[in-house]
Structure 1
Amino acid sequence: MNIPKIRPFMDSDAEVLHQLIYQTIDDAYTGVYGPKAIQYFKDYHSSSHILDDARQGQTMVLELNERIVGTGTICEQNIRRVFISPAFQGRSFGRMVMETLEKKALLMGLHHLNLDASLSSQAFYQHLGYRTREKGYIQVSDDERLDYFYMEKALNASFTDDNEIVSLPGEHIVTRKAEPTDAPAMATINVATWRDSYGKFLPRQLMAELSCSQKQAEIEDFFARWEENQAVALVMESKSGEMMAFIMAGKNHRQDLRYTGEIYNLHVAPAFQSQGIGRYLVYRVCQAFRQRNWNTMMVWALAENPSRPFYEKLGGRVIAQDIGEYRGFTTPVIAYGWNELPICF
C-alpha cells in the first residue's frame, strides 16, 4: 500500500507547486469565477509568492510515490495556499494537510486560525470546523469581482495521550505516552546512547558498571514519582513496535533556577538519530507544558556531550554550570534555558 508522506517545503519544490496550483485553479474555479478572477488567483500564487510565504511561515508538501500531490502553508495565524492535485482529490489528502498545519499551529502556541476560502472550498473548510465570519470580495476589473469567505477556527489545544502517527524521514512512527511497562526498553536505549555518546569522556569504571538494570530502576523510580514530578513521558516506536526514542520531563527541581518545566532525559537510539525524532519529542513536551501554562523550560546536559548543539539550535541559552554526580563519579554539566518555549519544529 502506498502511504502519503508530508514533509517540509524545499526551494526546489516551488516550480512544481506552481504548476500544481495552476492546474488546480483551472480545474476547480472554471465556471465558478470569471477569467479575470482566475488570472488574479494565478498571479497571487506565483512561484515568487510561494517562496516568500515559505520563508515567512511554514509550507508543507504532500507526496505520494515521490510525486508532489498537495501543499499547504501557515504564516502566523493564517492558513494559505492549500491545494490538492485534481487527480488526487477525494482521498482525504486535503484533510491530512490541514491537520498537519493545525498541529504545527498548536506547537507554535496558537489557539486560533484564519483563512480566506474560495466559493468552491468553503464547504470543505466548514467540514473541518471552520466558521464563516464574513463574506468579502476583490474587484478585479470594472465588470468582474472575486468573492471569497473569511473563515476562522478555535483550535483545541489540549494535550492528550492518544497515539499519534507522524511521518519523519524514512519511517512512520507512533508517538504515545510512556508507561511503566516501557521501562526495560527505555533502559536499553538509555544505555546504548550513553555508550555511543559518552564513552569517550566518562570514566571507564563508570561505563563498565553501566547496566540496563541500573537504568531500568532509575526509570521505574521516575514513574513511581509521576504525580510528584507532574511528569510527562513519551516514547516513539516504529509501526512494528520497536522503540526508537523516549523523553521524560516534568517540573523543574532547582528552585534557584526560575524555570517551570524541565526535560529530565531525552534519548534517541543511535540507529535512529539525525531524523528529527528528538526535535519532535521536545516539541510534544512543549505542547504539554503550554497546556499547563508552563511557559519556561530548562534542561541539564553533560558539558562534553557532543549533542549539546541540539539544544542551542532549538533556541536554548546557557543559564548555569555545575558539577553533576552520578554513582560516585562527578562531571561538569551545563544547563540550557528557554524564557519562551520553542514554537515550531
Structure 2
Amino acid sequence: MGLRGFRDDDSVAVHALIQRTIDACYSDAYPPRAVDFFREFHSLEAVGRRAAAGEVVVVEDGSGIVATGARVGHEISGVFVAPEAQGSGIGALVMDELEAGVLAAGHLVARLDVSLPSRGFYERRGYVVVADRSIDVGGGQRLDYWEAEKSLGA
C-alpha cells in the first residue's frame, strides 16, 4: 500500500472510486437528488480541475487506487476511501498528507466540507463544525452538510 501524488492517467480510476464510494456510502444518508448532486459535483471533469488547481493524492494497493483526497490552499476536498478499505487507517494517511500540505503552504487552519457519513471521522481528527449548510436539490429534497475547520498551528 502506498500514498503518492496524482498522475494524469489516474483520472478515470479516481473518478470510479469516488462514484462507487458515493453509491455505497451516501445512498443511505441522503435522498436520491442529493446523491445525484454529489455524483455530478465529483465528476470526471471535477477530478481534473482539482488536480490542476492544487494537490491530489492517491493510495494504491494491489487492486488499484483505494483512496484519494485533494487540497487547494487551506481547503481540503474530495477525500474518499473505498468502502471495503474504510476503518483501516487509509483515510487518516490521506488526511495527514493533505494537512501537512496545508501547513507547508503557510496556512495554520485547514478547512473542509463534511458530509453526513463522514462527520465522525473528521471530528475524531480534531475538526470543529463552524457552520451548518444545506443545498436545495429540488423535489422537496436537500443536501445537508457542515463546514469544519481544524487548527494545525502550535
The normalised TM-score by structure 2 is 0.96
Match 1:44 to one of 41, 45, 63: 41
- 1:81-92 equivalent positions in 2, closer than 5 A: 81-92=78-89
Separation in 2, partners of 1:23, 1:67: 14
- Larger RCO, structures 1/2 (Cα 8 Å, 6+ apart): 2
Separation in 1, partners of 2:53, 2:126: 26
Separation in 1, partners of 2:90, 2:153: 21
3-state SS of 1:63 partner: strand
Separation in 2, partners of 1:67, 1:49: 20
User: Are 1:129 and 2:126 an aligned pair?
Assistant: yes
Letter in 1 for 2:31: G
Match of 2:12 in 1: 15
Separation in 2, partners of 1:120, 1:46: 20
Match of 2:115 in 1: 118
Separation in 1, partners of 2:106, 2:59: 24
3-state SS of 2:80 partner: strand
Gaps of at least 5 residues in structure 1 are 158-345
Match of 1:70 in 2: 67
Contact residue 6 and residue 56 of structure 2 kept, 8 A: yes
Identity rate of aligned residues, in percent?
Answer: 37
User: Are 1:109 and 2:106 an aligned pair?
Assistant: yes
Separation in 2, partners of 1:87, 1:35: 22
Structure having the larger proportion of residues in helix: 2
Q: Could you report, residue by residue, the CA deviation over 1:173-203 in whole angstroms, capped at 9, with x for unpaired residues?
A: xxxxxxxxxxxxxxxxxxxxxxxxxxxxxxx
Cα offset, 1:142, TM superposition:
3.6
Cα offset, 1:107, TM superposition:
1.3
3-state SS of 1:100 partner: helix
Q: Could you report, residue by residue, the CA deviation over 1:45-84 in whole angstroms, capped at 9, with x for unpaired residues?
A: 0011100011101000111126110000001111000000
- 1:1-345 equivalent positions in 2, closer than 5 A: 4-65=1-62, 67-156=64-153
Letter in 2 for 1:27: A
Contact residue 113 and residue 146 of structure 2 kept, 8 A: yes
The normalised TM-score by structure 1 is 0.44
Separation in 2, partners of 1:120, 1:62: 21
How many residue pairs get matched?
Answer: 154
The structure 1 segments of at least 4 consecutive aligned residues displaced by more than 4 Å after TM superposition are none
3-state SS of 1:6 partner: strand
Gaps of at least 5 residues in structure 2 are none
Letter in 2 for 1:74: R
